Structure 1
């Protein structure tokens, strides 16, 4: 069964070209193309809900920031992958805070696009090296105090060490001999204590502070 994708981009030629590329990927199919977030809101009322929303940022009427925030609130199971020309740290961090699970630039090669989409569905996120570097810089600029570190429990630290791996949360729960729900509690607690929003943020923090398997 193929993973379904909706493309949201006001540049019709680019959107149609993307649709053609993705339709040739073994594991993916495009359900429909939307010109902006409002167009997507209208279409999703009568059309299937996709697994992935491939989303531009700069669009008229309803841009990528608004659309990702709306998706996070309304359809949280939809994986948001940003495909944009904007590579500034502010846009990257804002999209992550709005629920984006991946970020790519529009100059990506089709083979890299397919690889990125596969990583998104298999790992739950995809961020290239340049994006991870910017996230790391953001974390470095907001250094977590030693006092915060002492508030991390041993089990939270153990979970933290698994976040840079390719293991799913279910696989981590099996390694830690606990339920997936308990793992979610560790994750949410770390999000709050470290003021982070995503697993990739936890992974970068873990690597930066020597918490890795």
Structure 2
């Protein structure tokens, strides 16, 4: 069982997340806190979780500051941040402070479960919904720097994989890509994983970054 502590100042939201995670049977919610300061107090004298799922906007200590504190004091705890309002800068700031995951609050059940399990194994994850946001930011950064045109680097990408890569960079979810290309969702997931393996990146955010930097997408 993956041990989790929820940090959220809105009780209704916290209870909703808890209900979802309890229903999976794969996680144990070992404690809850209403803000970062309360969590630090809890951690000082109780069982440590594998993962902390925290809102970003909270009183006293927000999620970004909490992530930084946890990285310094409890580096083995993985932090997943939840937010309603997102900017590319906020996502980048979250990961620079040590976050392992960044999800929008309307994230689907299956994606939430996948993200937690993936992060518990040592990975990183950004909501699919944020892919377009990050792609636009990275494309802007690339265009203002040295943007050399290079080939496909001998990566042996198929035409279908390039189509999937373009749609991922455009912010489409696996299901939307499935509908666009008339493929099963499982096949799309396979293409996404093949791209991650071939480009030697860890998640969708890094996949888009690599693709933008090496002109694999428009």
Q: Provide the TM-score with structure 2 as the length reference.
A: 0.66
**Match in the other structure for 1:145:** 146
Q: What is the Cα-based RMSD across aligned positions, in Å?
A: 3.0
Partner of 1:92: 91
Stretches of structure 1 that go unaligned for 5 or more consecutive residues are 150-161, 173-186, 188-197
* Equivalent of residue 209 in structure 2, options 160, 185, 205: 205
The unaligned stretches of length 5 or more in structure 2 are 151-192
Question: Alignment length, in residue pairs?
Answer: 170
Distance 1:124 1:87, change over 3 A: same
Contact 2:107 2:127 in 1 (8 A): no
Report if aligned partners of 2:126, 2:205 keep a CA contact under 8 Å in 1: no
How far apart, CA to CA, are the structure 1 residues paired with 2:204 and 2:73?
22
Q: Deviations over 1:148-189 (max 9, x none)?
A: x9xxxxxxxxxxxx996269xxxx8xxxxxxxxxxxxxx9xx
SS in 1 for 2:132: helix
Map Cα deviations across residues 55-106 of structure 1 (whole Å, 9 max, x no partner).
Answer: 1011011111110111122222221111221222232222122111211122
C-alpha distance in structure 2 between counterparts of 1:34 and 1:111, whole Å = 24
Question: For residues 169-188 of structure 1, what are the structure 2 equivalents within 5 Å?
Answer: none
Alignment partner of 1:136: what SS?
A: helix
Give the 3-state SS of the residue equivalent to 2:30 in structure 1. strand
The answer to whether the Cα contact below 8 Å between 1:164 and 1:206 also exists between their aligned partners in 2 is no
Distance 2:194 2:36 in 1: 32
